[in-house]
Chain A
């Protein structure tokens, strides 16, 4: 079974550049979550989608961050322009919406903004 697939695994770019992170959820899952992990703040939820619709984006730190889910099998998290403080590991997770279900995580994208 294919798990949650994230790309790229690592991204190093210069401040001011646009960064796009990609996620393919597990087939059949109808909820998708974007998290950011830092030493200071731990694992924090940025935004999540139910049935491709953004439900709660209150965790998105600034307007420089945006996320889309054009279909059930693909989502992107974009940072434009990027800043050094955006450096972190970004995880995508998916789950079934019905009932209390565990989320399944991808292996993350390690982002470094120079």
Chain B
């Protein structure tokens, strides 16, 4: 039983267009949500996060949206660049303040020049 699901294993977009990566979760008690980016042969790198008290957080080309009623999280990258090609993981943090994260399976983004 996956608590965090990324239903699209892969996504391909043209350079300059918008990339939208999606993530669904099951537990309404989750209070902190994160996106990580991972290049081959490297560890995941923290990208952006959002607290459950917000519905949007923006950092440059990256925006995360949170829809609590739908238990849905999305990451928008605008404009997409070839260097954004990587695997993107969403992760959720429970409310127990233990620091434990639960990760989705990841979505491989390919941005074509």
B44: nearest residue on chain A (CB-CB)? A105
The dominant DSSP class at the A interface is strand
B44 pairs with A100, CB closer than 8 A: no
Q: Given A31-B99, A56-B100, A100-B51, decide whether A42 and B43 contact each other with a Cβ distance below 8 A.
A: no
Query: How close is B1's CB to chain A, nearest CB, in angstroms?
Result: 13
Q: Given A42-B106, A100-B51, decide whether A107 and B89 contact each other with a Cβ distance below 8 A.
A: no
Does A68 lie at the interface of the complex (its beta carbon under 8 Å from any beta carbon of B)?
no
A43 pairs with B45, CB closer than 8 A: no
B103: nearest residue on chain A (CB-CB)? A43
Interface residues on B, range: 20 to 34
Query: Complex formed: what's the CA distance from A101 to B98 in Å?
Result: 10
Q: Given A4-B43, A43-B89, decide whether A103 and B103 contact each other with a Cβ distance below 8 A.
A: no
A107 pairs with B93, CB closer than 8 A: no
B43 pairs with A93, CB closer than 8 A: yes
Interface residues of A (CB under 8 A from B): 4, 31, 33, 42-45, 48, 50, 55-56, 91, 93, 95, 97, 99-108
Interface residues of B (CB under 8 A from A): 31-32, 34, 36, 41-46, 49, 51, 89, 93, 97-106
